[in-house]
Structure 1
């Protein structure tokens, strides 16, 4: 019996130091990314700092065309999210600012309004729009892949925290995809029914070509 107990204790002593490596995989972003993702950092070298991120503490710069910015805490910024199916970010929108229509192909999104007011909404695949005016403390969700937006129609800056159920949710802004790119102006006119003058104006505004 003592020999069996000794054997069990020896087995546990072998397994326990390796258990934490199955609990998480903090990405080592200094190494090349593979098809299955980033390699894991050695768990024995991790500290609490590896699971903490302070990059959302300060307001983002809203001195731009859209008077808004998103500060991401995605996989590349916060390697502890690797394998957790989670990302967070900070949204700052100045009065009159807008986060234009966009989609996240790989994630659902939840927005929590911390300060100010926002008009938010999305359009589903049956072309029904869901639009809501939010006040501080409100939460709104945007289903995966659907076009959605945020607008500050108030007189004070708005600040929100977003969470997404992917560490790399992806994002495509409709306006920027069309008018910041080299997408042919003639094809944009044909596929969107916009006038030549409007397409030219938007390409000039957003820096597109062709």
Structure 2
């Protein structure tokens, strides 16, 4: 009978561990430098990428220079994001972190409403003054917004719509860190009005309480 009890307890423990391990597991090696080349052999495939032989890794695999260089903000929204993720730093693969520099043009440059589906973001302002905010999920849709100056920090919870806008007279710069090697970025307007193939204008007109012709024009511009 004791053997049966031990077996039941062991099975329950195994099930519990299985549920606990349902989220992304911690890496079981020091690092997994990403490479797109499997060298024609069966390689270790982690997070969509092959791992380089650890003995072939170099310091360059963990390095990125010139993140201090300003990005070109001459575009429709007046901002540019320079992302240092696993594509730019192969050694980030499996480490669940990344960082980005965000440059804003003077007075009105913005990172429009968007979502990071795989990461929480923490942002620190280096230069200028930003108005930032995020909106909670339904049914509340509550707006949390704040004016940030150099040295101020703000957090955007994973998966929530958020934005940043330069409200100063000069340019602005911020650094953002993510708890994902590839946080993803879904621009709300681009995704809704610029999908391929387009969403039925009738659907969007009803959802946004807009004239269908206006929706069609927005789809043509996206």
TM range (shorter): 0.7 to 0.9
Picking from 36, 52, 59, the partner of 1:29 is 36
Task: Calculate the aligned-residue CA RMSD, in Å.
Answer: 2.1
Distance across 2 between alignment mates of 1:33 and 1:71: 29
Is residue 2:65 matched to residue 1:41?
no
Task: Give the distance between the partners of 1:80 and 1:35, measured in 2 at CA.
Answer: 12
**Superposed counterparts of 1:23-172, under 5 Å:** 23-31=30-38, 34=45, 36-54=47-65, 56-95=67-106, 96-125=108-137, 126-172=140-186
Structure 1 distance, partners of 2:70, 2:200, is: 36
| Cα drift, residue 195 of structure 1 | 2.9
Greater Cα offset, 48-57 or 70-79:
48-57
Contact preservation (8 Å) 1:85, 1:165: yes
Q: What residue ranges of structure 1 are gaps of 5+ in the alignment?
A: 1-20
Tell me if the contact between 1:123 and 1:147 (Cα under 8 Å) persists in the aligned partners: yes
SS in 1 for 2:83: strand
Q: Is the 8 A contact 2:44 2:51 kept in 1?
A: no
User: What is the Cα deviation at residue 198 of structure 1?
Assistant: 3.9
Answer yes or no: is 1:189 the counterpart of 2:201: no
How far is the alpha carbon of 1:88 from its aligned partner? 0.8
The 10-residue stretch of structure 1 (140-149 or 65-74) with the greater mean CA deviation from structure 2: 65-74
Q: Which moved more, 1:102-111 or 1:170-179?
A: 170-179
TM-score, scaled relative to structure 2: 0.77
TM-score, normalised on structure 1?
A: 0.81
Do 1:106 and 1:169's aligned partners in 2 also have CA atoms closer than 8 Å? yes
* Alignment correspondent of 1:8: none
* Alignment partners' CA distance in 1, 2:172 and 2:44: 36
Q: Given that residues 45 and 51 in structure 2 are in contact (C-alpha distance below 8 angstroms), is that contact kept between their aligned partners in structure 1?
A: no
1:180-210 CA-to-partner distances (Å, cap 9, x unmatched) read 2322222211111123454245334xx34xx
